[in-house]
Amino acid sequence: MKIKAAVCRAPNTPLDMETLELEEPRDTEILVRVVATGICHTDIVVRDGLLPTPQPVVLGHEGAGVVEKIGKAVSKVAVGDHVVMTFNSCGRCPSCLEQASSYCYEFFPRNFFATRADGSSALSRNGEPVHGNFFGQSSFASHALCHERNIVKVSQEVPLELLGPLACGVQTGAGAVINALKVTAGKSFAVFGAGSVGLSAIMAARVVGATTIVAVDVNPDRLDFARSIGATHVIDSREGGASEQLVELTGGGLNYALDTTGLAPVIREAVLSLAPRGTCGVLGASPPGSEIVLDEVHFMSGGRRLVGIVEGESNPDVFIPELVELYRQGRFPFDKMVKFYAFDDINEAIHDSETGKTIKPILKIG
């Protein structure tokens, strides 16, 4: 079938709006009519060629839509279901078998190689292959093929066009707090970096009842926004000394810290702000080969912990519907971060995300 898609043809250049050919779903595949797709930082990093995803490629990995057709072997969803498309996984490795698919042993090939597992692509233009299946979807398009492993059915009682970001950015921040760090009522928590992931973490910290919730960022507008959605304190880190301020504020250090920046000096600062027995989560991606330097005595002697977190350590079939229900109850207002753009304005939406003008762009597609 003919579809409309935004194609990334070369690093650091605008995406091209093109008409492509999409193959019919194979037995295990699901055809989704895409209603809306969020733009995530990872799409921009891949567009810029900083990860080894081949081009030309259709990106997009926060798709929301309606099931239009299913392969013969598919039973998880039915035609007409409202769904979001999340990260892909193999379903067979030790992590997947323990419902920890964000740590799938094949996470990188299944999400970043932009081909099916057999190396083929379902997308082409005038007979020339275009890479697809990015995060098991490639949802910067009017239609996407995905899999039972990465499709999640959602309630029809909430606006579908809003839900795509729950599948990556929002799930990453909220899941880090709820699933990975397991922040609990009465504890202190700080997030370093108040982008869409960090702000999702703040909303989640409020949901679980943390009583000291701190946003650390260099952008005063973002700090104001963080206050409006649940931060009890904010720190402008342009002035330096964030860890000293956090230790003083909490009377000895944080129970939980979360780095969303992937910057080694910020991670060091986050660990230095921990109380004895405190835990720091790291979820921002650094260039391959990056290293973290810690004060070893401080780290060891307080029994502090540092942990890597992918996709909020989420089991998406369980966690995404939970986030939808929290949103429906008014307890998780992630819609306040969102700005909608027409699909044709995708390059403007990416630009506004890069400059910080928009916290979370969503493209309205169909």
Residues that bind Zn ion (CB under 5 A): 40, 42, 89-90, 93, 96, 104, 168
Least CB distance to Zn ion at residue 272 (A) = 28
Is there a contact between 66 and 82 (Cβ–Cβ < 8 Å)?
Answer: yes
Least CB distance to Zn ion at residue 41 (A) = 7
CB contact set of 62 (below 8 Å; sequence gap of 6+): 37, 38, 39, 40, 84, 85, 139, 164, 165, 166, 167, 168, 169, 362
Q: Which is nearer to Zn ion, 104 or 216 (CB)?
A: 104
Q: Which is nearer to Zn ion, 49 or 129 (CB)?
A: 49
Q: Which is nearer to Zn ion, 247 or 285 (CB)?
A: 285
Between CA 356 and CA 54 the distance in angstroms is 27
Note the helical H segments in 273-328.
296-301, 316-328
Radius of gyration of the chain (CA): 20
Q: Which is nearer to Zn ion, 138 or 237 (CB)?
A: 138
Least CB distance to Zn ion at residue 103 (A) = 8
The amino acid that residue 55 corresponds to is Q
Least CB distance to Zn ion at residue 90 (A) = 3
3-state secondary structure of 271: helix
Least CB distance to Zn ion at residue 60 (A) = 10
Is there a contact between 102 and 177 (Cβ–Cβ < 8 Å)?
Answer: no
Q: Which is nearer to Zn ion, 73 or 97 (CB)?
A: 97
Q: Which is nearer to Zn ion, 168 or 207 (CB)?
A: 168
CB contact set of 185 (below 8 Å; sequence gap of 6+): 208, 209, 210, 211
Q: Which is nearer to Zn ion, 163 or 235 (CB)?
A: 163
Is there a contact between 280 and 269 (Cβ–Cβ < 8 Å)?
Answer: no
Least CB distance to Zn ion at residue 276 (A) = 34
Closest alpha carbon to 56 in 145, 126, 150, 160: 126
Between CA 191 and CA 305 the distance in angstroms is 16
Least CB distance to Zn ion at residue 201 (A) = 14
DSSP for 161-190? GG-GGGGTHHHHHHHIIIIIS---TT-EEE
